Each structure stands twice: as C-alpha cells, then as structure tokens.
Amino acid sequence: MFETVGEVLNNISNCVTQWTSRILAGLMGGMTAVILLAIVSRYVIKVSVPWAEELARYLMVWTTFLAGSLGLKKGIHVGISFVVRKIPPRICRWVSLISGLSLLFFFIVVIVEGFCFSMFVSRQLSPALRISMLWVYSALPTGGILFALFVIEFIVADIKRLTEKREIAGNAQDGFVLMEKE
Amino acid sequence: MTVLIITVFAIVALSGIPIAFCMGIVSLVSLLAMGKAFFLKLLAQKMVTGIDKFPLMAIPLFILAGNIMNRGELTNHLITFANFLVGRFRGGLAHVNIVTSIFFAGITGVAVADSSILGSIFVPAMEKEGYDTDVSAAVTASSSIIGPIMPPSVPFVLYGCTVGVSIGGLFLAGMIPGILLGLSLMLVSYFISKKRNYPVRDIHLSLRELALSFKNAAFALIMPILILGGILSGVFTPTEAAAVAVLYALIISLFVLRTLKISDLPSILVESAITASIVLMLISTANIFGTILTTQQIPQRVAHFLLSITSNPWVMLLLANIFLLIAGMFMAESPNIILLAPILAPIVTSLGIHPLHFGFVAVLNLTIGLITPPLGACLFILCGISNLSLEQLTKAILPFLAAEIAILFICTYLPAIPMFLPKLFGFG
C-alpha cells in the first residue's frame, strides 16, 4: 500500500517542485528588477518610486517560504547531525519518523494560523501599494502547504522502510534529518 | 518555563531537525504551554514580519550575484592572476589557493561555496604537483573562510540586520583582517612546504597571457569596490548595492565574458533563492523564538550572569570569544549569529567595546567555526572532495586553525586593526 501512496506522492511533489521553481525564478528576478528600477528612476529620471521597496520586500517574503520548502526537500537546511550520525540506522529511522511527525504538526499549525491571520489582516491595506495585506501574509500558509507536502513524503518513505522486513542497505542520509551538506 | 524551553530545544535540535524549524517547534510548544490559544496568532505574524525587512534583501541578492559570477571561466582567470603574483614562492600552489580565496571573497561571501568550488579545482591540482592530499584540503578549507570576512559578505549582512549595526561599517572592518588572515595562512603553508619539501614552480607567463588574465580577473575584483564604494559614498543602501552587483555580474557574464546564456538564468535564480532561504527561514522562526526568550527574560538573565563574573571589557571579550568558539564547533554560523549575537552584543558593548568591533570579532569567530572539528561545514565538503576522513583532515588543519585563532585574538585585543578603516570613513 505504501508503495502506491509513495509513488503518487512522489509524482505530486515533483510536479509541485517544478511549478514552484518556475514561480521562484519569477519572484527572485522580479525582486532584483524592482530594486534596480527604483535606483534607475531615482538617479536617471530623478523620480523616486515609493512602492518599489515595499513590493520587493513582499516578493522576498514569498520567495523565502516557497524556496524554504524546496530547501527542505533538498535537505539543505542547517541542523545538528552528529547525534543522528552516531546512532544505528534502525533507531535513526524512528527518530526521523518522530521528527517528521513533529515537523508536520508545526507546519499544520503554520497553515491554520497563517490562514487565520491572513484573513484577519485582509482588510488592512499596505502603506504604499494599497493592496490587501492578505497578499503578503498568505505566503505563510501557502509555503506551509508545500512544507507539509514534502514532510509527508519523507514520513511515508520512513514508514515504508520501517515496515520492510530486511534492512535496507545504506543509511538515513536520504531522510531529512541528516543535513550537514551545506 | 525556561527549563522547558531549553530541554525541548535540546531534544528537538539533537534529533537532527534543522535549527530553523527547531525554533518554530519550540516556540509552538512554549506558546501552547502558556495556555493562551490567542498567542498562536503571534506565530504567524512574527514569522512574516521577521523577514519583511529591506536590509535583509542584500542576502539573496549577494548570493545571486555570486552565483552568476561563478558560472564560467572567471575562476580560471583569477587563478592565473594569483599564480603570477605568488606562484613563484615555495609551496606555490598553496599560496595561489589562498590568494584566489581572497579574490574570490569579492564574488561569493559564502564560505561553503568557496570551499566546494576552489576545493574541486585545487585539491586535484595540488595532488598532481606532489602535495599531500590532507595539506591541499586543509589549505582550501582554512582559506575559504576569508570569503565571508571580506565584502560582500552574507554573515556581516545577517549580523548587521539582527543586531542593528552598520553593514557598510562591518564590511570595512573586515578588509584588513581578511588580508591578515590570508598572509598568516601563507606563512603557515610556507613552513609546511619547506618541511615537506614541496616544489618551487617556474612561472612562464607570456605578457599577453598575463594581460588577459589580469583584464578578466579585474572584472571580479571590481565588484567589491563597486559595492563598497556605492555604500560608503551614500549612493546605494547595502541592498541596492547588492542589486547593482547582480546587474554588474549579469552584464559581465552575458555580454563581456559571454560565459552565461539567458537560458541559464532561471536555474541560477532558483538555486540562489533556495540557498538564501536557509538563512531567511532561520530569521523568520528566530523572530518568534526571540520573542518567547524575551518574555521569559532569558537574555537579561544571561546578561546578569555574565556581568556577575566580570565587568572588565577585555575579560568579557575573552569569555565571549571562548563561548562563541565552542558554540561554533557545534552549530553553523547563521543560527549562531541569529541566536547568540543579540544576547551577547548588548552586554559587551555596554562595557564600552565598540559595536562594530564586537560585531566583526563575533562574525570572524563564528566563521572560524566552519572549519573547526567536529562539525565544521567546510571540513565536510573537503572530506567529500578529497576522500579524506575527518580525522586526517582535522590533523592537517590544526596549524592553519591555530594561525586563524591567533588572528582572531589579535583583532580582539588590538581594536585598531579592524577599526582602522571604519574610523577612517567615519563609522568610529
């Protein structure tokens, strides 16, 4: 059963990753372009663009949560790994599973609270752009959903390995707990 | 409550969950333990407001500029030019490695990027010329931390944003010590090369080759000047300077060197965003975690405890240095800067130490943490490249590490060295 669930999840997550990457390239490029535009208009046309800084900041908020989730999938977030490195792989799997579940719990709270807070501030307008703050704060629940998706993928992979009788060769490196890569 | 926070943090962090999410989980547990569901609103709000800050944007932009510059042959030109400068001395390639790291500082500002790029070039090249693998890897690892000390530097931006000191001032403070670090490493490699009888190279460079390598190396060397000049003359904020650096890198690599195609850009943008998100996610969750620590008055209690030990600024600096070196052995530099700097900086500066001076010392100290065993990130990268065990590399890196810690203490106790340039430009 876990085979099929894992496969379906994998497909969904790969598709999501692809689209998130495209959006991210746009966000990051847009952020740079907006700041450059502000500089050019300040020094060349001598007009300051009051909304440029604000827009760039909001793009960065979105960039952070979307890119952060891809970072979790790639396993590049910094963590302390010398303990999990030392314990036997079998126990490591359990640690990884429990860590995954507690992360999932955190992300669910982030999604729910992020959604509630976005609704709470939706009638508030941003100072310069005059757009609803919903557009800014919804980055958090959106990112949260991606985070949750990638964590569920890890959790399913962990359960799959735990239910398998024979020990899989290799270590827990492919889980998200060992992250001293960068 | 304090005990709860510390225990939960220790358990969660040691189980391998990335520090950014540890802070989130611990904050969540503490908010739940406080028993008021309303506080959970704080979680959402703080996570967003933490990163909704203009100065922080310098971090993704500097990373992006570095990634654009890294593509292509710029590195090779830098190496040729460094080879011309220092290749003729005993242990030539080791010196070239170090000087290239100093040049590279203007491009990346991230030590792990430095060590993986230069390591994959220099370790095989040095082995081929008869250097021992462990020495080659040790030279690369120890010199890669010069990158974050000289502008543009991601850790300095991070420190400037979290503690609230001038980013331009920190950039200036890093200039002279960065060069001193390089010189001290060259001295160590000279002695090692003499002892192990590493080759002296003949440098045959035609004038034409030299001119070409200088011209292309200059493109990379102009970038820090552009950034610093823009910031110091008041033309740009650090964030704008970073955006200009991106534009400069784009123009150079798309039109001048032509090492980059437009179609390469999307992947570079995504890669840079993901790298930047490591730091930005930390800042996001640290913003809630910091609030919770403050409600428990933990920073004040640490301050009270430290001030009860000593009120001598120089002894306090020693304590802070030792504390940070130990912290740096176990945790990466960004979480350390975010978690510890806001607690330590007010204590040390209240005793009369200049905020820029302490900022520089703290960042240098935590950056050295990247090459201290058992958990230095740069060590792991070079172990991967050179197939050495951590023990072998640790043994080889000790003399270099000692030299760097010596520079750290010189900069701590002779404030004139890091503070000379900031004072000159009116930051003192």
Within 8 A by CB and 6+ apart from B71, the residues are: B253, B259, B260, B264, B268
Residue written as token pair 């792989």: A89
> Is residue B46 pLDDT above 70, yes or no?
yes
Q: What is the ipTM of this complex?
A: 0.89
> Is residue A111 pLDDT above 90, yes or no?
yes
| Predicted confidence band of residue B379 (pLDDT cuts 50, 70, 90) | confident
Q: Measure the CA–CA gap between B28 and A103, rounded to whole angstroms.
A: 11
CB of A96 within 8 Å of a chain B CB? The answer is yes
DSSP per residue, B186-236 = HHHHHHHHHHHTPPPPP----HHHHHHHHHHHHHHHHHHHHHHHHHHTTSS
CB of A86 within 8 Å of a chain B CB? The answer is no
Q: Measure the CA–CA gap between B221 and B226, rounded to whole angstroms.
A: 9
Within 8 A by CB and 6+ apart from A93, the residues are: A158, A161, A162, A172, A175
Residue/partner pairs of A92-96 with CB below 8 Å, 24 or more apart? A92/A171, A92/A172, A92/A175, A92/A177, A93/A158, A93/A161, A93/A162, A93/A172, A93/A175, A94/A162, A95/A177, A95/B15, A95/B16, A96/A154, A96/A158, A96/A172, A96/A175, A96/A176, A96/A177, A96/B16
Both structure tokens of A176? 């998200």
Closest to B352 measured CA to CA, from B288, B407, B275, B415: B415
pLDDT the model gives residue A170: 44
Mean pLDDT, residues B291-310: 87
CB of A72 within 8 Å of a chain B CB? The answer is yes
Of A28, A38, A96, which is closest to B273 when you measure between CB atoms? A28
pTM of the model: 0.88
CB of A57 within 8 Å of a chain B CB? The answer is yes
pLDDT the model gives residue B97: 87
Both structure tokens of A9? 């999840």
**C-alpha distance from A2 to closest chain B C-alpha (Å):** 24
Q: Measure the CA–CA gap between B16 and B375, rounded to whole angstroms.
A: 13
> Is residue B263 pLDDT above 80, yes or no?
yes
Q: Measure the CA–CA gap between B399 and B401, rounded to whole angstroms.
A: 5
> Is residue A172 pLDDT above 60, yes or no?
no
**C-alpha distance from B163 to closest chain A C-alpha (Å):** 20
Mean pLDDT, residues B375-399: 83
pLDDT digits (tens, 9 = 90+) for B203-220: 777 788 788 878 888 888
Q: Measure the CA–CA gap between B191 and B350, rounded to whole angstroms.
A: 42
- Chain B residues in contact with A103 by the CB 8 A cut-off are 17, 21, 25
Residue of B nearest to A43 (CA): B235
Mean pLDDT of chain A: 85
**C-alpha distance from B139 to closest chain A C-alpha (Å):** 19
pLDDT the model gives residue B72: 62
> Is residue A173 pLDDT above 50, yes or no?
no
**C-alpha distance from A18 to closest chain B C-alpha (Å):** 11
Both structure tokens of A30? 């847009």
- Least trusted range by pLDDT, from A47-56, A122-131, A142-151, B123-132: B123-132
Residue, of B305 and B216, whose pLDDT is higher: B305
Residues of chain B by 3-state class (helix, strand, coil), percent to 5: 80, 0, 20
- Least trusted range by pLDDT, from A146-160, A164-178, B114-128, B150-164: A164-178
Of B48, B240, B282, which is closest to A35 when you measure between CB atoms? B240
- Chain B residues in contact with A53 by the CB 8 A cut-off are 54
The answer to whether the Cβ–Cβ distance between A181 and B269 falls below 8 Å is: no
The answer to whether the Cβ–Cβ distance between B247 and A57 falls below 8 Å is: no
Closest to B165 measured CA to CA, from B336, B414, B337: B337
User: What letter would DSSP give residue B181?
Assistant: H
Q: Measure the CA–CA gap between A2 and A8, rounded to whole angstroms.
A: 10
Mean pLDDT, residues A151-158: 89
- Chain B residues in contact with A99 by the CB 8 A cut-off are 12, 15-17
DSSP per residue, B276-313 = HHHHHHHHHHHHHHHHHHHHTTHHHHHHHHHHHH---H
**C-alpha distance from A33 to closest chain B C-alpha (Å):** 8
> Is residue A47 pLDDT above 90, yes or no?
no
Q: Which residues pair with A125 in a beta bridge?
A: A132
- Chain B residues in contact with A80 by the CB 8 A cut-off are 13-14, 16, 19, 330-331, 375
Both structure tokens of A82? 């010398």
Q: Provide, rounded to the nearest whole percent, the portion of chain B with pLDDT above 90.
A: 32
The answer to whether the Cβ–Cβ distance between B335 and A78 falls below 8 Å is: yes
- Chain A residues in contact with B331 by the CB 8 A cut-off are 78, 80
The number of residues in chain A equals: 182
> Is residue B369 pLDDT above 70, yes or no?
yes
Q: Cis check for the bond before B152: say yes or no (omega within 30 of 0).
A: yes
- Chain A residues in contact with B275 by the CB 8 A cut-off are 76, 182
Residue, of B121 and A123, whose pLDDT is higher: A123
- Chain A residues in contact with B265 by the CB 8 A cut-off are 25, 29
Q: Measure the CA–CA gap between B125 and B128, rounded to whole angstroms.
A: 5
Distances (CA, A) of B147 to A58, A142, B98, B106, B112: 29, 35, 10, 7, 9
- Chain A residues in contact with B273 by the CB 8 A cut-off are 24-25, 27-28, 63, 66-67
Query: Each residue of B35-67: b (16+ CB within 10 Å) or e?
Result: eeeebbebbbbbbbebbbebebbbbbbbbbbbb
> Residue A56, exposed/middle/buried by CB under 10 A (0-12, 13-18, 19+)?
buried
pLDDT the model gives residue A143: 95
**C-alpha distance from A5 to closest chain B C-alpha (Å):** 24
Residue written as token pair 């002279």: B176
SS3 B344: helix
**C-alpha distance from B313 to closest chain A C-alpha (Å):** 32
Q: Provide, rounded to the nearest whole percent, the portion of chain A with pLDDT above 90.
A: 51
